[in-house]
Amino acid sequence: MPNHLRSYDEPGDCHFWTISCRRRLTFFHDDGMKRIVVDGLRVLQQRFGICLVGYVIMPEHVHVIVYSHARESDTPIPISKLLHAFKKHVGYHGKKRLRDVWRERGELWSQPLNEWANNDKSLFWNTRGYDFNIHSQKALIEKIEYCHKNPITADLVDRAEDWHWGSYRYYEFGDESVLKMDWDGSWPIVW
């Protein structure tokens, strides 16, 4: 198995990421931790000016769909740079939140997390993730639908609209209360 998976920064492509927590620990079971992920996505929107297309935050992983071009740029921002910024922001602020909860309660929300806090707290993310280039509108819609069905598949909710930690509510109801998406539905994406 390769040590490093390659990302291909192709003009016009979207990227579908799967980023997992260390040993699939449920860091994002807590809503405060989910808000930190949302803030990390805002960093990508504001600092880099990329087009955020879709996302879902699950208890132990995150799916993100981005069009990695800054507005009106034909050249994509390297995925490695975007992933680094996102993972660094969420890791730093997430560890801080976990330390605060630990100090306040003396425990986290699961025994595996308590073991992590006692032994392994420097490692937050799995080293490797999954980055898939999206070349077509059909593939993009499939990945968005995959994100939106993920909480149902994991038995977290019965209906996608009941999960507030993803882009479904934005696209279905125009709900910007958690995070506004940047994609207007056009293909190819004009940003």
Distance CA 6, CA 191 (A): 25
Containing domain of residue 33, as a range?
Answer: 14-173
Question: 88-117 pLDDT, tens per residue?
Answer: 999 999 999 999 999 999 999 999 999 998
Asked whether residue 68 is domain-assigned, the answer is yes
**pTM, two decimal places:** 0.94
Q: Is 172 exposed, middle or buried (0-12, 13-18, 19+ CB in 10 A)?
A: exposed
Asked whether residue 178 is domain-assigned, the answer is no
Which residues have C-beta within 8 Å of that of residue 171, sequence separation ≥ 6? Answer: 54, 144, 148, 181
Question: 66-84 pLDDT, tens per residue?
Answer: 999 999 999 999 999 999 9
Tokens for 168?
């479904």
Average pLDDT, the chain: 94
How many other CB atoms are found less than 10 A from the CB of residue 190? 10
Asked whether residue 76 is domain-assigned, the answer is yes
Distance CA 62, CA 71 (A): 24
Q: Which residue has the tokens 């209906």?
A: 159
Tokens for 159?
């209906």
Say if residue 121's pLDDT is above 80. Answer: no
pLDDT of residue 66: 98
CATH number for position 99:
3.30.70.1290
Q: Which amino acid does the sequence have at 144? A: I
Asked whether residue 26 is domain-assigned, the answer is yes
Asked whether residue 4 is domain-assigned, the answer is no
The H or E element containing residue 61 is: strand 61-67
**Tally of domains in the chain:** 1
pLDDT of residue 133: 96
Displacement of CA 56 from its chain's centroid (Å): 6
Say if residue 7's pLDDT is above 70. Answer: no
Asked whether residue 184 is domain-assigned, the answer is no
Comparing CA positions, the residue from 146, 149, 141, 145 lying closest to residue 186 is: 141
Asked whether residue 5 is domain-assigned, the answer is no
SS3 content of the chain, % helix, strand, coil (to 5): 45, 15, 40
55 touches 167 (CB < 8 A): yes
Give 35 or 116, the one with higher predicted confidence: 35
pLDDT of residue 8: 87
pLDDT of residue 93: 97
pLDDT of residue 119: 81
Question: 162-183 pLDDT, tens per residue?
Answer: 999 999 999 999 999 999 999 9
Say if residue 159's pLDDT is above 70. Answer: yes
pLDDT of residue 122: 73
162 touches 57 (CB < 8 A): no
Asked whether residue 179 is domain-assigned, the answer is no
Tokens for 191?
């940003």
